[in-house]
Amino acid sequence: MSLDMSQFYQVFFEETEEHLASIEAILLRIDPQHPAPEEIAEIFRAAHSIKGSSATFGFEDMAGVTHLMEDLLDRVRKGELAPSREMVDACLAAGDVLRNQLDAHRGERRPDLERAEAVRSRLAELCDGAAPGAAPQTAAGPGFDLAFRLARVVSGSELLVDNMLAELAALGDCEIVERPGALQPEGGWRIRLRGACAESALRGVLELVTDPGDLTISPLAPASAVSAADRPALPAEYSEDAEDGSYTLFMPFPPAREALPHGAAAELAAPAAAAGEAAEEHAAGATRGGAETSIRVSVDKVDQMVNLVGELVITRSILQEVASQVDAEVFDKLMNGLGLLERNTRELQESVMSIRMVAVSVVFARFPRLVRELGARLGKQVRLRLEGEHAELDKGLVERIADPLTHLVRNALDHGIETPAQRLAAGKPEEGQVVLRALHQGSYILIEVEDDGAGLSREKILHRARERGMAVHDGMGDAEVWQLICEPGFSTAETVTEVSGRGVGMDVVKRNIGALGGLLEIRSEHGRGTRIGVRLPLTLAIVDGLTVGVGEELYVIPLGFVAETLQAAPETIHRVAGEARMVRVRGDYLPVVDLGRRFAVEGAQRDWSRGIMVLVESNGVRAALFVDTLVDQQQVVIKNLEANFRRVAGFSAATVLGSGKVALILDVAVLVDGVRGGEALAA
């Protein structure tokens, strides 16, 4: 009988990713000299799970790495080896190799065989190096005496037990000395194996079907038989009777199974035994939890559900539009029903959207490793503090925000944090600090990267901007000056390093954040540090918007950009060469984007004093959007323009209104950037 394991590959991939993330997180926070026993045990359990699952699916390369890692951790756990930073580094490197191997089994990249071999050698040396003179046991003697207890699920499966025995028989001549009886299926086994096999091969078979600590392997004496006095001790919890210390004997196999010939073929492969181990762990988890409280669902299925809820929102808007035109006698009843539909739809919408929400810790988890290694490479002492990592964000945004945040953290270490000598000279502690925090603000989430380094130099930025021929002046506000570092090719670094300094990066970060409907906020104090905030909508599926009319066209402005609306008095309109250009609001002159002229809308209002100014802010720059009327404030379902039509300058997406009409959603960040770039938006 054969079992097709490919159907379970995706579950294995996801669970292994979780185990690797857990291992890395513990290794990065652990004290290498004085690790807590529970932390070592947790890493050991994760490595043990990866090893068993890898063997189950036949991924022997991964099983081999985790087996060596497990051996090293086991010796540390038992106090046979003193923990060290080298061990932590080796385990981190092993985690990288396992990720590479995992991606290779997914078909996403080629396996790095040379690196994997180097890591295996490094783990083996660390495992053996702390015990000088101790050589691994091989088959120099006549064989081994095996004492072990099977895992609970394995001991209850005759198929898995037979498979284990067949695997042992393939390594040598087996003689079953003791075995559990029917009333004690989880009792102890003793098997005498003779032949030229290595101890590591035996462990490779038995560790997959036993729990840690439940296996003892001892070399056989040269004599043909081993006396009772020479046999190895079984694990303490079941090896001896409590009162007289005698061994408990179990009913042996029937005579036909007493001895298995060398080289007997196994019906199933060894990984099948590991399946029992995986099943045991799953069963134990179910027992502890009482019942499963979560399931794995394909992201495509969730996306389909989100899309259907979006269509339901549009249908509700259509019905409300039609209801406003029906006869007055049935209007009240219809509106009551629509009110109930609206409440239920909103609750359904919020529930479905919550399914797509994941904690930003998924992204934050990669940065402790980055800060640790990059800080060491730059010769800087840096401590990373994570705050609000349990805040939730749409899965689509989480996946796309990782690269911009990585660049911001790298900049903080390279440009922000000073060297220990510089920090001491400035009266600061040698160790710098980078804070990565996330917090909710209404329908948005703010992710900040803050450092206590040198901060930005206003004079240096303005000087470099003038060298590049940019239109800058000393009267610019700090927020505008800080935004200059996001210009393409702009850099204040004196030298180019392997980390940064080429002027490539911040402009890409800003562009990518803008593409997600977000804002990039920069604050800095020279000598005290810099804080860069990324403000993002919680979801890319539905957005709160302000619907405005321009001529016969309707546009939607995301509410996150809107500060206020007002009607401009004639005396507040500032003209240049006879053309209206700016509007004065409480002493500040704001550039105006006339949407009717910008998009060549026929019949649009041209008199600024008779329309509406919508004040918006993006990336620290304020501006006004001139529209004819304000129509409504409502939630709208985002429809991708590029997927359904093509990219259109000035618009980020589209939506369907209750009237059935398509309205375009404005890309406020692009429009405001056009103001800074000197576009003639009012002409």
Q: Give the chain's length.
A: 683
| More confident call, 365 vs 441 | 365
At residue 443, the pLDDT reads 67
At residue 287, the pLDDT reads 35
- Rounded to whole angstroms, how far apart are CA atoms 601 and 229? 99
Give strand pairing partners of 533: 448, 521
Span 265-293, average pLDDT:
38
Identify each DSSP E strand in 73-134 by its residue range.
none
| More confident call, 302 vs 664 | 664
Range name among 470-474, 601-605, 662-666 with the lowest pLDDT average? 470-474
At residue 493, the pLDDT reads 62
- 255 pLDDT band, cuts 50/70/90, is very low
Residue with tokens 């019942």: 291
- Rounded to whole angstroms, how far apart are CA atoms 16 and 47? 9
Span 563-592, average pLDDT:
85
Span 250-278, average pLDDT:
35
* Residue 33 confidence (pLDDT) above 50: yes
Which amino acid, residue 85?
R
Q: 3-class DSSP state for residue 229?
A: helix
Pairing of strands 579-585, 588-594: antiparallel
At residue 611, the pLDDT reads 92
Identify each DSSP E strand in 92-247 by its residue range.
143-150, 173-178, 188-194, 210-219
- 186 pLDDT band, cuts 50/70/90, is low
**Phi, psi (degrees; rounded to nearest 5) at 594:** -80, 100
- 301 pLDDT band, cuts 50/70/90, is confident
Tokens found for residue 89? 């580094």
Q: 3-class DSSP state for residue 534?
A: strand
At residue 619, the pLDDT reads 67
* Residue 413 confidence (pLDDT) above 70: yes
At residue 237, the pLDDT reads 35
Span 68-89, average pLDDT:
86
At residue 432, the pLDDT reads 93
Cβ of 91: how many Cβ atoms within 10 Å? 23
**What number of CA atoms fall less than 13 Å from residue 393's CA on the CB side?**
31
| More confident call, 151 vs 438 | 438
Range name among 55-69, 130-144, 193-207 with the lowest pLDDT average? 130-144
* Residue 579 confidence (pLDDT) above 80: no
Identify each DSSP E strand in 222-354 by its residue range.
259-260
Range name among 76-90, 172-186, 407-421, 559-573 with the lowest pLDDT average? 172-186
Give pTM, 2 decimals: 0.56
- 442 pLDDT band, cuts 50/70/90, is low
> Could you tell me if 220 and 144 are in contact, meaning their C-beta atoms sit under 8 angstroms apart?
yes
* Residue 356 confidence (pLDDT) above 80: no
Q: 3-class DSSP state for residue 86?
A: helix
* Residue 497 confidence (pLDDT) above 60: no
Span 3-29, average pLDDT:
79
At residue 532, the pLDDT reads 93
* Residue 132 confidence (pLDDT) above 90: no
Q: What is the pLDDT of residues 513-558, one digit of tens each?
A: 877 777 888 999 988 999 999 888 776 667 788 999 999 999 999 8
Q: 3-class DSSP state for residue 137?
A: coil
Span 352-374, average pLDDT:
84
At residue 200, the pLDDT reads 75
- Rounded to whole angstroms, how far apart are CA atoms 467 and 587? 32
At residue 225, the pLDDT reads 40
* Residue 195 confidence (pLDDT) above 60: yes
Tokens found for residue 72? 């090293």
At residue 296, the pLDDT reads 65
At residue 385, the pLDDT reads 92
Mean pLDDT value across the chain:
77
At residue 555, the pLDDT reads 94
- 499 pLDDT band, cuts 50/70/90, is low
- 250 pLDDT band, cuts 50/70/90, is very low
At residue 106, the pLDDT reads 85
- 319 pLDDT band, cuts 50/70/90, is confident
- 308 pLDDT band, cuts 50/70/90, is confident
* Residue 678 confidence (pLDDT) above 80: no
Span 455-475, average pLDDT:
87
| More confident call, 137 vs 645 | 645
| More confident call, 13 vs 333 | 13
Span 141-148, average pLDDT:
80
- Rounded to whole angstroms, how far apart are CA atoms 527 and 453? 7
Pairing of strands 392-394, 357-359: antiparallel
At residue 221, the pLDDT reads 65
Span 473-489, average pLDDT:
84
* Residue 596 confidence (pLDDT) above 70: yes
Task: Report percent pLDDT > 70 for the chain.
Answer: 79
- Rounded to whole angstroms, how far apart are CA atoms 247 and 599? 91
